[in-house]
Structure 1
Amino acid sequence: MGARDGADTDGDDGGARDGDGDGDSDGGEPVVVPERDPLLLDAMLGGLASYLRMCGYDAAYALDRGVEDDEAVRRLAAAEGRRVLTRDRDLAAATPGALLLTERDVVDQLRELREAGVRLRLAEAPARCGACNGPLEAVDPDADRPDYAPETGTLWRCRDCGRRFWKGSHWEDVRETLASL
């Protein structure tokens, strides 16, 4: 796969923004989001979750967990060792290491993440369920192919919810979106 697949080709893992937007966390160090850092997206970032999951991130969505209140989001993130992504300035300011996004549109949010140093590229193979964030496993396409799936190609099944996935037109759409950032 080349640069058109959405891979971050500049090699810059730069710093990300925290709650006050100055790029410094509590001690003046930039907030860095490692590629596999588990994330918790607040109620305002549901559309972003599936993109991050397709990039291989463990990206939990607060509303999927029945959590919306700022304090409950902070408790859940701390309990699971997740970095909070939010559009809520107060939540970001009160949560060490949080990443504040300001844009409403998901493509603009992806741009903000890329500019903050978050690597956004499709995984070679899907790793996370787009619906529930559970881990995916490859399945025998001959023994486990549902009627609605394409007749050829690799299939993956979510270990948590059982949904099936394959690289189809949505995969290519996301690839093009990431390449356009």
Structure 2
Amino acid sequence: MKFLLTRELGRLSRWLRILGFDARYEPSGSKAFCMLEALKEERVVVTRNMRFGRRHGGSVVFLHANDLKGQILELQGQLGLAVDRSLFFSRCILCNEPLAAIPKAVVEKEVPPYVFETVDVFRRCPACRRVYWKGTHWENVEEIITSLLCAA
């Protein structure tokens, strides 16, 4: 399932990416632009803006919750959103691009020495070139995800 999130859902877009979903974020797009893009790319528009209306011919999900946990629960309830742990951390949280595995030797000069010595698997965003690896932040995020999903 692919999403297009409106300006008030930037945090949710990052977390959907962490969960492995294709979540395009449009912070400055108009209603018409968002609906057109969603139709072209077969995306579900996710918004908190009730002025979006339901007559645009596309799929629109309205969220009422202000908090991340509530928003994810609403998406699960409205769309039957299924979360696949094997897809966690598979997309760039900044660009939304799928991450690509890269050889360790390629990133030696791009990551801290301790990280290079202790981590064997690295991924890179093909768009922004950011490098990702499984570090302590990964465990912290997994704890947050587990707490979110256990409530579902």
Smaller-chain TM-score range? 0.7 to 0.9
Structure 1 vs Structure 2 CA RMSD: 2.0
Query: Greater share of strand residues, 1 or 2?
Result: 2
Partner of 1:17: none
- Give the partner amino acid of 2:123: W
Aligned with 1:135: secondary structure? coil
Post-superposition, which runs of at least 4 consecutive aligned residues in structure 1 deviate over 6 A?
A: none
* Structure 1 gap ranges (5+): 1-36
Partner of 1:69: 30
Would you say 1:49 and 2:13 are equivalent positions? Answer: yes
Q: How does 1:26-105 map to 2 (within 5 A)?
A: 37-63=1-27, 67-95=28-56, 96-105=58-67
Q: How many residues align?
A: 142
Partner of 1:138: 101
* Structure 2 gap ranges (5+): none
- Give the partner amino acid of 2:68: V
Partner of 2:92: 129
**Equivalent of residue 156 in structure 1, options 106, 109, 123:** 123
Contact 2:13 2:24 in 1 (8 A): yes
Q: Matched residues in 1 for 2:26 and 2:87: separation? A: 27
Render the CA deviation track for 1:102-147: whole Å, top value 9, x for unaligned.
Answer: 1111222122223332123443563211111112100101222323
The higher-RCO structure (CA 8 Å, 6+ apart) is: 1
Render the CA deviation track for 1:44-69: whole Å, top value 9, x for unaligned.
Answer: 11001111111111111012xxx421
Would you say 1:107 and 2:69 are equivalent positions? Answer: yes
**Equivalent of residue 133 in structure 2, options 166, 169, 179:** 166
